[in-house]
Chains A and B, each alone.
Chain A
Amino acid sequence: MSQELMMDLPDINRRRLLKGVGIATGLALTIGINDLVRAAVAEPAKKYGGDAMPGGLKEDVLVFVSIGSDGIVNIVAHRSEMGQGVRTSLPLVIADEMEADWARVRVVQAEANEAKYGNQNTDGSRSMRHHFEPMRRIGATARMMLETAAAAKWGVPRNEVRARNHQVVHQPSGKTLGYGELAVAAAKFPVPVRDNLKLKSAAEFRYIGKQNTRNVDGQKIVTGTTHYGIDTQLKGMLHAVIARPPVLGGKVKSFDASAALKVPGVLKVLELKSSSLLPPLFHPLGGIAVLASNTWAAIKGREALKIVWDHGANAVYDSQTYRKILEAAARKPAKVVRNHGDAAGVLARDGKKFVAEYYQPHIAHGTMEPPAATAQIVNGKCEAWACVQDPQAALDAVAAHLGFKPVNVRVNVTLLGGGFGRKSKPDYVVEAALLSQAMKGKPVKVTWTREDDLHHDYFHTVSLEHMECALDAKGMPTAWLHRTTAPTIASTFVANAKGGAPFELGMGAVNIPFNIPHMRVESPEVQAHTRIGWFRSVSNIPHAFAVQSFVAELAHNAKRDHRDYLLELLGPARKVNPDSIEDGWNYGESPQRYPLDVGRMRHVVELVTSKAGWGRKLPKGHGLGLAFCYSFVTYIAAVVEVVVGEDGEISIPRVDIAVDCGPQVNPDRIRSQAEGACIMGASLTLTGEISFKNGAAQQSNFHEYQVLRIDEAPREIHVHMVEHALDVPLGGVGEPVTPTIAPAICNAIFAATGKRIRTLPIRDQLKA
């Protein structure tokens, strides 16, 4: 066992775990197994998957499992719950492998501590993909230690006992011992080394891949007794709202708080230092904070503030003008990021060509729970409660801003009322901590109003995708050029960064496996003027909108069926090494383990079209549209049926989605993620837009930033899952469906009406 491992398991952690779960008196399993892999196997040159993440993977049974003498098995959920079901799905893997009875499992939410739990950044559709196998090994370790303890107690050979549904059975005699009775004894036995672990076979699974484990938070959700970030109540707590600079990089020139201070309930008005320096990182934006005895008073107080802003250099940002800047950049040669053959040469020659451009504006996450956090400082230690996707990032940011050592900061993770990427950026937690510090440690809750949320998001990027093709006599592309033009997420982390980052280009720009002789992708450089962040499926959204719409346009141009044309472009089933198509990123996964599998891509296209009745006869005004996406190492294809009324009104009676994410752990939650991502995709297609004027976001609340409601949502969503055995590695689930929806809807509209949409959102484009 390594030194590092020993240091990961100080006693204090154990006590904290026990305290956290209340009644777990008989601590079960001691000593961790942790990263024995890494110690045992020769270190590969490059790490992939969970091993490459900050904090890596921790497989310590002590950290993740404890058993009370009452037999209750406490399992730690170290990732954040935002609706994807992770607080249920990861613990059920441990429970299954350790033969625990789900009814006697309690889930304990981990605080921020990556040294202890391994990576906690709940982002990038990674939780199950990275942690399925570690969770299995933790569960198997617990099971084997319990079996060893029972065999010793009975004085029988180890191979005569078997763990089964929360007890160990001596098979020849039928004697049993419950997990609660074995907990203390099990702790005294050595932890099996990883090579000796016996994992269950898939046939032995009780919960994995089944649908018999209800959401652990379900009952509390329907009775309104859960704790989200916005729900924290502490004694003596102050409620804060903040007036932030409307323009990124702006600051307060002067302010007058006299009227605000007269609002009943307002206790204090404070200036928060503006961080006008780039890059924005997770810094609070600064501004004027109003602290009050309740949220309402704080909101009223803020309305009464008089503030003169210095808007700074980004006041030039105007979405109409910026579209022209994007177009100009997209029409000039730019940095080449993939080049096979001589696309530029072929396109320069005379011959049949097809050119199209696709535009998408900024969009906001609009989580139903706006950002919110509470912090207090007691005896030089800060404790925060917050809805964060990346707890460790929140802790580190708080510590840095307070000038505290990280060990003196604790971040407790609440439930998240939606995340979608917004809550990976913990600026709001830092605000709460700074205000508490300014108030001598008093507990302060910062609540973002909806206006704050829409004005100060880390926005999904605006984009202009320029597509060009040279065509042969049959209308098939001989050369392909894609110029993907958008301010980059990297600008949030590196001042004035420009051009697509590898992780953006690797989301469906460079890694398009079409069977075209000359392929070229370019990445023009454009300046960001607001905070750019990742949004559920990130760059896959604009890239799939462009590529999947463009292919449908090419098929129509060639007078071919879209599906057949698409399959011909994909070419024969084969495995493509991502490195060979200049995708060195590959979602952080090993190119050997996760090649781009064209066979699986073809299969989802074939599956979804057959399930949706592709080619069936439709009434007037109806149309079917198809799109696929390879997103977060999962293969998705969707067929959308739209109806366009005489007045241009769009409705979506049916969507079929084929999902190939490898083996399924919690199939019902995969389906619900597909349904939700579909509706979010439809939302951004039909109405999603944040526009800027004079540097500031123009939409303030849900009347201006419209998201789909029940009457507009697709009426039926059919999710078709591709089954796999465990030899296939897991893919992402939370994000991958989103990008297919916009192009599938636009392709369906074209089929229904002959009108091609190249600018999102559609809003009333069909009404003209």
Chain B
Amino acid sequence: MSSMSQLDRPSKRGIPEGLWLRCPTCRATVFKKDVESRLNVCPECDHHFPVSARRRLDQLLDENSFEEWDATLKPMDPLGFVDDKPYAQRILDQQKKTGMNDAAVCGAGFIRGRGVVIGITDFAFMAGSMGAVVGEKLSRAAERATEQRRPLIFVSGSGGGARMQEGILSLMQMAKVSAALARYHAAGGLYVCILTHPTMGGVAASWAFQGDVTIAEPKAMIGFAGARTIKNTIRLELPDGFQTSEFLLKHGFVDRVVHRRDIRTEVSRLIDYCDIR
């Protein structure tokens, strides 16, 4: 949760915020509208900016095809967790800031006319971390995809993974979602997981790596342990490009690194290859 370094942070040096963005990769100052019209990708260098779950749905699905499920699920504070502010208060603040009840959005929709079940985690809500609501929504999505015999697409943008403020119960969400996905697989469904920046920890060690096909956006940070934890343990510098999409591709844990503009095409093509009806 501690090492999200390359987030969308517009420079303060004389650039009017709201209209312009500074790209963290090429450092170019780019017109925000240009970035948005290119699916939140830098027009200069193809840096993939973070995307909210709502925008991601617009980018991935056919127009007006999304039907949301379980939107009313809200988190609780089972441990009475308090750090510099109580978790119960943090939830309210995050809900106000994002307009979301929790970090996941799930439902049904169409990708180039192909019916799918889709689940997305949004980094904006507590780093997209997985507590009981995210676990429940993804599990229900997998269960409904099993019943409806539809391809299942999850998109992870999930930072540190399990949500520390829900303690051991957040760790158990890994088992819960995995069990639902195991049943989905056993029933013969196609599960495609799309990994975006960042996908770490308990999310990486569960549903992010349980797909039939695993796709990653370019240069996303993906891994189990945080870079700082690893550095503190081994006391060595980490190699360039460590824990990036390309690193995982090279080591055999990602099937394809795909530019954001091509994900729709790629996913619909995969669905066609795996359609046995």
The judgment on whether A and B are partners is no
- Chain A positions near chain B (C-beta within 8 angstroms): none
